[in-house]
Structure 1
Amino acid sequence: MLKPVLLVTVALAVAGLAAQGQEQAMDHSGHTMPMIHAAPEASPQAARDVPADRITLTSRVEGPDGGPAVAGGEARIVVTLTDRETGAPVTNRQIYGWMELVRNAQVTAEISCRSRARLLARGNVTAKADVDLNSYKLLMLNADRAVSVVNPHVDFTITNMEKVIPLPAAPFDWRMSGDGSTVFVTLPTLDLAVAIDTLDLTVVRLVDMGGGARPATVTALGGNRAAVELAGTGAVAIIDAGSEASSRPVAVGPAPLIMAADMATGRVFAAAADGHVVAVDTARMAVTADTTLSALSAMLWLPGPGRLAIGSAQDPVLRLFDPVTLAETDSIPLSAPVTALALDPQSGLVLALDRAGSRISVIDAEAGRVIATGPVADTPVEIGFSHAYAYVRGLGGDTFTALELEELRDGKLTPIAIQDAAAPKRPTDDPAAVRARLIAPAGHGALIANPAERVAYDYMEGMNVPMGTVPIYGTAVTGMLAIDRGFRETQPGTYEARAIITSAGPYELVMALDRPDLVVCQPASVDPGAAGDKTNPGPSVTAALTDPAEGGRQQTFTWRLADPASGAPVLGVTDLRILAYSPSGVWQKRTVARETADGIYSATFSFPKGGRYGLAISSVSRRLGPTDAAPSYVTIRPSPDDAFQEESLP
């Protein structure tokens, strides 16, 4: 097994910083199945070959409402790229950024912009930015009622887990909103959806879907909205992070439903199990067109030709439909039926999976033809994309498949088999395994989760073997999502990042482009403000532990919750969740602490063996995360049967 390690790839991605050459800018001189993070629609040729000396870069740092950025609060960092000769936006670029507090203007001026970018890109502790706009977090959706947050860049010695977001019930599906600000999780048994803020990673809303709705699959829409399948009523509803109730539902037909969405217009398409297909205007929540088809298996919106693509589980054909009338406009013959569809966000090519044959077809929908076919991972079910590769995860075998996108666009298909299991997996028809989304594109690569082995394999573009693994903590993981804190293109030529900036003062905003090689530094400022605008308002917590007991026996621990200002005990907290975990992360248990006296809460655990364990606490109602209070560590004395229990650890 590879060691758990994840290397920072920013330095490699901006390797041009190390090249010798003339400085490109002077300081302060103005100076539907996979999860796809696509740039806004733009011509593939738009500003593709614009040289560095023709690009105008402007930036601003502001609050979420467009006013000044305030210390302790959320900030938006907005960058625009323009071709100064044509005025056209420069699109489809990767921007890396850092913010440095200017503590000494003379020292800052003495170091060139390119030199600062080179130092920051290396990620050295001695050259650490005050605000790093390139990091990301991994979110793990667990069937045992929690979302785990993992920082893959940091080794906490006992665990990479940064916090746990408890859920009030078992989740079914999740999706990130189109603007990247919110992750929506559906909880069918409670008829709820949960909205999680991707910046501070806390639950910001519980959305009531209506009695008997049983919310299931989620499809992203533009802004902070999403479409949700209501399996209990065979309908579709819209949710957003700012509302505690869903929209009026629109009836479709018997569940399960298949959905797709046009983010530009907000139109949602849904197909019922009986083949009834509808187009829904989400502004009016009204059906604008419908039709009936047979054996639907997958649905995908194609922004290029402006068509809805539908695959069949029986017929080897991909059909295209007009979004307004749902009339069929074209059909593309294939070599096999379709079980899943995905869109290359850069070229607009369609990738179609044949699960039974373990093959993939690459389709040019605008030309109406298949340009390549070939084998992929055994029993393929999921496709994900990074900058330069597509990744195919299968239910069988011990590898996933990497496909170079440039080759696919040229009609060539050369599958690369990459290890993602220590031993071959057995294919399964378990709907949860088929539905799971375990590919998380991250920077110039991706992580592919293997819940059975409790790891995610870390793959960097261009390598034939994984770089290492990241622990994913448990076998109940049904989804993995990379929350990219970096710049996203929100409209052609406009790129935005979000951050919480803790200190006020003058800053230097350092930015580097991947192509062309361009480095720019510009001044920014953050106003003083009320400290803790985005800090946790929950109570301070102290932990009083009982004497350790022998391994395998129950042990009770107590915590006192106190008001941070007055020190008075905090009463009536009913969602104080306790996570106990082993140093390796192999064993973990969760429970809810009960109030046994005023402000005193107790929880009991039975540990599997002797050793050192961690205890972390959280409470959604008090906005208290596991990292807001220092974790507690306890030592359990070993017992004679530890050797036998070692073999039975989950």
Structure 2
Amino acid sequence: MDQVQQAEQQGVRIELHTAQTAEATLQVALELRDATAGTGLSGLRPAAWLVSRDPSEASAERDAAGSEHSICRHKARSLLGGSLFARPELDLNGYEVLVLNEDASLSAVEPNFGFGGARELAHIDLPAPAFDWVLDRQQRRVYLSLPGAAQVARLDLQDWSLETVELGKRRTGALLLDADERHLWVAVDGGVVALHAATLEVRAQIETHPAELGPPTELLSSTDGRRLVVGHRESRMLVLIDGLSRRLQRRIELDTPPLSAAFSALAQRFYLTLAAGSGVGDGMLVSISARPPHPVMRVPSLPGPGLIRFAGEGRYGLIVHPQQQRLSILDSAQDQIVQSARLDGQPDQIAFSDELAYLRLRDRSQLLMVPLAAIGQAGQPIPTFDTVGGDRGFVDGFRSVAAAGLAAVPSGGAMLIANPGDRAVYFYKEGLAAPMGQFGTSDRSARAVLAIDRSLREREAAGRYETVAKPPAAGEYELVLFVNAPRIVQCFPVRIEGGSPAAERAAHRSPRSARTSTAAASIASARPPAPESP
């Protein structure tokens, strides 16, 4: 049942929508509009909590405090202060952490770094260890590739149920959701398959190289989803795909294997690093336009480029050179390297917060950080500083995965760091010398980490902030709303329907195991088409 309530403060009209769904989720939508003009107020960061509401206690508090609004302000102050004595039944400002383990499992955790430790929400057993994963924009589902089972899995982030689909006997690899998230592209032995994201049915398959060479190693698209690039190291093959028609456009045979690929939204170009060729001392950096006729250009680079990733709007690309232990900055507006720095280690992953680029050093338990404000300044040194990411090295003795071991915290200014050797996930807050918290992953090694944003986030409509959460036990509650600017404090009564409150509370506190269902998809065997000339 949809509950709609309205209020007005500080010239702002507030409209709260709450609804419980058949899937046992609570949908919360908050509309904030200018009371005079009726326009949505964008860019705000509303905070909200659901707290128990006892009518008899509320009446006594009102008599003592003098006004219901005073009580609401008191509750908001206590919740903002993070008091142990003012813990909400549902926090609509936080995030949950999904951990990809070395074994065939996932762990869903509610972190509580401020008070220490974490609460396990669910443990999900997989048919085989995961290699890659991708999170949808609504942050309601995660898709995973399971090479050992020749499967793709979809995890529902509300009830932790798991669906899998078998793709014949073809191993799965890298994953990519297209721009409108209607299709999931999956790297499989010999090519790529497009699955309908909602039904997991096969909608297209494109063969790019002999199946015995395994899945493509690079899979990415332009920001509008109109062009896809598929790269395979062993076959030295690069394939361009029309994302709308899901048809092969062009196959390019390279002189040397592609190592890493990234897309610059500003330049509308794909950039690939290539390995050094036989008898050639340097590797290469090439760019391919996302616009027809897709010209291929070589970009001057420092020796031995490896991983490449673009920051922010996509003008500046960070390129690491593992053998030379160097970092270089590519300016995509000029197609040239404009900065370079010596590194003390070999980075194997790059992640970004709003202010920093994080470089994980594979051969040790350290992270290097680069201020984004300092990159792109031609000829100037690149400042770096470091922090520890645990006690043990990140990759020694562990299988290779494409999923990232670093994840930016949704609220900004912090990074989650998965350290498999320590069997822990660390929380680093920017500005500190070392991580300020951590939680263990029991006897499992954490290979990758995702932060699932559970806060009220602005969606497509201006001034409309939404989230979906698991509701607390049945009963009477109060939603406490706080907005810093303009300053708004408002409380709304909310009723949660359900069964036995006591039984529901016990279930809400206990970690759950996932329900799993499996289907099979039809994948035809086909030989790759003949290559075209570049």
Q: TM-score range by the shorter chain?
A: 0.7 to 0.9
TM-score normalized by the length of structure 1:
0.64
1:506 offset after TM fit, Å?
A: 7.5
Q: Render the CA deviation track for 1:489-537: whole Å, top value 9, x for unaligned.
A: 5448565322233457684452446xxx5443456565665559xx99x
1:99 offset after TM fit, Å?
A: 4.2
Q: Does 1:272 align with 2:224?
A: no
The letter for the 1-side match of 2:481 is V
Q: What's 1:75 paired with?
A: 27
* Conserved 8 A contact 1:100-1:508: yes
Q: 1:531 to 1:243 in 2, by over 3 A?
A: farther
Pick from 495, 504, 515: which aligns with 1:620?
A: 515
1:75 offset after TM fit, Å?
A: 0.4
Q: What's 1:634 paired with?
A: none
Partner SS, residue 497 of structure 1: strand
Partner SS, residue 414 of structure 1: coil
Q: Does 1:510 align with 2:481?
A: yes
Q: What's 1:261 paired with?
A: 221
* Conserved 8 A contact 1:72-1:500: yes
Pick from 426, 433, 440: which aligns with 1:471?
A: 440
2: distance between equivalents of 1:454 and 1:100?
34
Pick from 485, 488, 507: which aligns with 1:520?
A: 488
* Conserved 8 A contact 2:50-2:91: yes
Q: 1:528 to 1:474 in 2, by over 3 A?
A: closer
1: distance between equivalents of 2:36 and 2:339?
39
The letter for the 1-side match of 2:470 is I
Partner SS, residue 249 of structure 1: strand
Considering Cα pairs closer than 8 Å and 6+ residues apart, tell me whether 1 or 2 has the greater RCO.
2
Q: What's 1:206 paired with?
A: 164
* Conserved 8 A contact 1:83-1:90: no
1: distance between equivalents of 2:394 and 2:514?
39
2: distance between equivalents of 1:392 and 1:495?
33
Pick from 6, 9, 17: which aligns with 1:61?
A: 17
2: distance between equivalents of 1:426 and 1:162?
25
Q: What's 1:407 paired with?
A: 374
2: distance between equivalents of 1:461 and 1:158?
20
1:170 offset after TM fit, Å?
A: 2.6
Q: What's 2:352 paired with?
A: 385
Q: Does 1:234 align with 2:191?
A: yes
The letter for the 2-side match of 1:29 is E
Q: What's 2:139 paired with?
A: 180
Q: Render the CA deviation track for 1:350-378: whole Å, top value 9, x for unaligned.
A: 22222222222233323434343224462
Q: Render the CA deviation track for 1:178-221: whole Å, top value 9, x for unaligned.
A: 33221111122332211111233332x2233x212211121233
* Conserved 8 A contact 1:134-1:486: yes
Pick from 70, 94, 102: which aligns with 1:135?
A: 94
The letter for the 2-side match of 1:143 is E
Q: Does 1:218 align with 2:188?
A: no
Q: 1:217 to 1:127 in 2, by over 3 A?
A: same
Q: Does 1:149 align with 2:108?
A: yes
Pick from 236, 240, 243: which aligns with 2:199?
A: 243
Pick from 476, 497, 500: which aligns with 2:467?
A: 497
Pick from 310, 325, 333: which aligns with 2:272?
A: 310
User: What's the Cα RMSD here?
Assistant: 4.0
Q: What percentage of residue pairs aligned between the two structures are identical?
A: 19
TM-score normalized by the length of structure 2:
0.76
Pick from 230, 240, 247: which aligns with 1:286?
A: 247
Unaligned runs of 5+ in 1: 1-26, 32-52, 541-614, 623-650
Pick from 409, 412, 416: which aligns with 1:447?
A: 416
1: distance between equivalents of 2:345 and 2:331?
24
Q: Render the CA deviation track for 1:543-577: whole Å, top value 9, x for unaligned.
A: xxxxxxxxxxxxxxxxxxxxxxxxxxxxxxxxxxx
1:485 offset after TM fit, Å?
A: 1.4
Question: What is the total number of aligned residue pairs between the two structures?
Answer: 480
1:301 offset after TM fit, Å?
A: 2.2
Q: What's 1:338 paired with?
A: 305
1:74 offset after TM fit, Å?
A: 3.0
2: distance between equivalents of 1:81 and 1:360?
46
1:334 offset after TM fit, Å?
A: 2.7
1:143 offset after TM fit, Å?
A: 3.2
Q: Does 1:164 align with 2:123?
A: yes
1: distance between equivalents of 2:45 and 2:251?
40
2: distance between equivalents of 1:186 and 1:619?
17
* Conserved 8 A contact 1:419-1:465: yes
* Conserved 8 A contact 1:510-1:519: no
> 250-259 or 219-228: which moved more?
219-228
Partner SS, residue 109 of structure 1: helix
1:381 offset after TM fit, Å?
A: 0.7
1:147 offset after TM fit, Å?
A: 0.6
Q: 1:619 to 1:260 in 2, by over 3 A?
A: closer
